[in-house]
Copies of this chain bind each other. A is one copy, B any other.
């Protein structure tokens, strides 16, 4: 796809822009001022850059072909105060979109950076994003996408999965088990009606002790059971490393070595470290709030040159900030997205 923004989109129209940018466009038009400026965007904290793909798609739509654009790639690490994007173009062509491109980078880089921290703690155990429910649905897919950039292996919403060209991942909600009145019955219904390529993962903390329920579903589904998900609520002490070890041992002792264990519920980098440190045999983690609660990483845009003359507001160094990591974007080429 070569564009992602409708002509009437709220972003393109400036409806979601800070009003002072809208007014700035009006003033400069009235004054016939439209100089070629160089705008640099830098991150105020270190982390993992995310959102640049979306930003470049926006800029491709609005910048003239002769503009110069260079940027860090999606998913690269960035240092504090590092310039990640440089635009040289008539100010009138892109000044209005400052709110939008800063926000795209801020929100998604915050999420991707938090996801990466979890990934680093797992020492190789895969993580699935379960955080869509903690953010507004208008950005749920963006959060899911950011976790994938951060190294998660799967995410839960169709819209988010599509952004990363994967299939969405899920188990069974407590609601369905409560409606069936029995974990085994609900799991068997899942098995009857859901496409065979979807893994059968039983949720085993609804009615009975997790270890007992795990053995019941393993007996009932046999080899068709891919795994069990432990999601013990805080009221019951959450999933502990020892619970994982015990369920694993009881499954193994009953001959269900193939059944995997997925752990979710309040999992963050610290708790992942606890499971890993105690050698709990977790096969996958589901992580939600640990990513959704990460603050955005703020970005700042500065004009550093006007018609070739270095300038800067007080507090900043006039002129281009050299950054050899920036890569030139060819505006004539079709975006890879």
A interface residue numbers (CB < 8 A to B): 10-11, 14-24, 26-28, 30-31, 33, 35, 37, 39, 51, 91, 95, 98-100, 102-104, 106-108, 130, 132-142, 156-161, 168-180, 189-190, 192-194, 198, 205-209, 211-212, 232-238, 240, 242-243, 245-246, 249-250, 253, 288-289, 292-296, 298-299, 302-303, 306, 310-319
CA distance A122 to B211 in the complex (A): 33
Are B235 and A242 in contact, CB atoms less than 8 angstroms apart? yes
Measured between C-beta atoms, what is the minimum distance from A323 to chain B in Å? 16
Which of B18, B168, B237, B298 is within 8 Å of A240, CB to CB?
B237
Inter-subunit contact A30/B192 (CB<8 Å): yes
Tell me the nearest residue of chain B to A107, going by C-beta: B136
In contact, B293 and A293 (Cβ under 8 angstroms): no
* Nearest Cβ on chain B to A311's Cβ, whole angstroms: 5
A147, chain B: closest CB distance, angstroms: 14
| Chain B residue at minimum C-beta to C-beta distance from A296 | B134
The closest CB in chain B to the CB of A26 belongs to: B193
Contacting residues, chain B, for A249 (C-beta < 8 A): 317-319
Nearest CB of B to A275, in Å: 13
Which residue from chain B places its CB closest to the CB of A167 in the assembled complex?
B19
Q: Within 8 Å CB of A296, what residues of B?
A: 134-135, 289, 292-293
Chain B residues, CB < 8 A from A172: 20, 23-24
CA distance A102 to B134 in the complex (A): 7
Q: Is the beta-carbon distance between A156 and B10 smaller than 8 angstroms?
A: no
Q: How many copies does the complex hold?
A: 6
- In the complex, what residues of B have CB within 8 A of residue A233's CB? 313-316
A242–B33 CA distance with the chains assembled, in angstroms: 31
- Closest 9 A-B residue pairs measured CB to CB? A237-B237, A20-B170, A235-B242, A293-B295, A233-B315, A19-B168, A235-B315, A19-B170, A138-B138
User: CB distance A317 to B246 under 8 Å?
Assistant: yes
Contacts A21-B173, A104-B136 known; list 4 others, CB within 8 Å.
Answer: A18-B133, A24-B173, A209-B314, A245-B317
Complex: chain B residue closest to A191, CB-CB = B27
CB atoms of B171 and A314 under 8 A apart = no
Query: In the complex, what distance in Å separates the CA atom of A139 from the CA atom of B180?
Result: 37
Given A95-B175, A208-B209, A318-B249, A142 contacting B136 (CB threshold 8 A): yes
| With A26-B194, A232-B237: A138-B133 Cβ-Cβ less than 8 Å | no
A201 CB, nearest partner CB in chain B, Å: 9
Shortest Cβ gap from A259 to chain B (Å): 17
Given the complex of chains A and B, what is the CA–CA distance between A209 and B209 in angstroms? 5
The chain B residue sitting closest to A241, CB to CB, is: B235
A50 → chain B closest CB, angstroms: 11
B residues near A192, Cβ cutoff 8 Å: 27, 30
- Whether the pair A15, B157 counts as a contact (CB closer than 8 A) is yes
Q: CA–CA, A173 to B23, complex, Å?
A: 9
Q: Which residues of B contact A319 (CB under 8 A)?
A: 249, 253
Contact partners of A234 in chain B: CB under 8 A: 242, 315
Q: Please indicate the chain B residues that have their CB under 8 angstroms from the CB of A91 in the complex.
A: 175, 179
